[in-house]
């Protein structure tokens, strides 16, 4: 049995910062339900309850399509044992044109297009896997170092601008004294 054959349900999630639109299709592409889910822990629990009810408790039979391959929603889906696939937003635009030639962006349509496209064009999607915990820690450390580096660069730029305005940038003795006082 290949990867696609094991899925009996296809879920499209149009990610939003406040709420997500969810569409569920069966293996024949028939819609089983749509709903909007708030971006809260309680709402996500309700979503999983709804999905368990639709799949009769067999969540591993779900394939989930989403544009954003990272973040709390994706991590929660992966932690629950769901198989998650991501799609480039440009590719979603192309699939949207297939179903809705007018091309108007609509969250309900996009959730449907994600689910349906995953069912029919799985090769266009990339499977999302959980990051190794070392990578997660390294990424977090890199973000904190990046913020610190930006702070140092901002202070250096402020000193250089002040030196340029005061004329000390071109006088070696004054430049040395100004840089020493800034440190």
- The percentage of residues in the chain with a pLDDT greater than 90, rounded to a whole number, is 34
Residue 28, C-beta contacts closer than 8 angstroms, at least 6 positions apart: none
Distances (CA, A) of 28 to 80, 105, 126: 25, 25, 22
| pLDDT exceeds cutoff 70 at 134 | no
For residue 147, name the pLDDT band (cuts at 50, 70, 90): confident
Question: Taking residues 154-181, what's their average pLDDT?
Answer: 70
CATH topology of domain 9-128: Nucleotidyltransferase; domain 5 (3.30.420)
Among the residue ranges 4-8, 84-88, 133-137, 159-163, the one predicted with the least confidence is 133-137
- The percentage of residues in the chain with a pLDDT greater than 70, rounded to a whole number, is 79
């Amino acid at each position: 049995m290949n990867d696609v054959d094991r899925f009996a349900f296809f879920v499209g999630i149009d990610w939003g910062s406040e709420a997500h639109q969810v569409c569920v299709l069966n293996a024949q592409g028939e819609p089983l339900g749509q709903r909007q889910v708030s971006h809260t822990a309680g709402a996500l629990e309700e979503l999983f309850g709804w999905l368990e009810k639709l799949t009769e408790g067999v969540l591993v039979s779900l394939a989930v399509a989403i544009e954003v391959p990272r973040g709390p929603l994706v991590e929660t889906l992966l932690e629950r044992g769901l198989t998650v696939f991501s799609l480039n937003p440009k590719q979603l635009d192309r699939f949207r044109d297939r179903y809705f030639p007018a091309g108007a962006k609509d969250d309900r349509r996009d959730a449907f297009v994600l689910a349906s496209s995953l069912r029919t064009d799985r090769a266009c999607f990339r499977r999302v896997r959980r990051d190794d915990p070392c990578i997660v820690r390294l990424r977090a450390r890199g973000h904190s170092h990046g913020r610190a580096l930006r702070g140092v660069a901002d202070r250096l730029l402020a000193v250089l601008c002040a030196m340029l305005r005061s004329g000390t940038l071109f006088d070696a003795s004054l430049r040395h004294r100004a840089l020493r006082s800034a440190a």
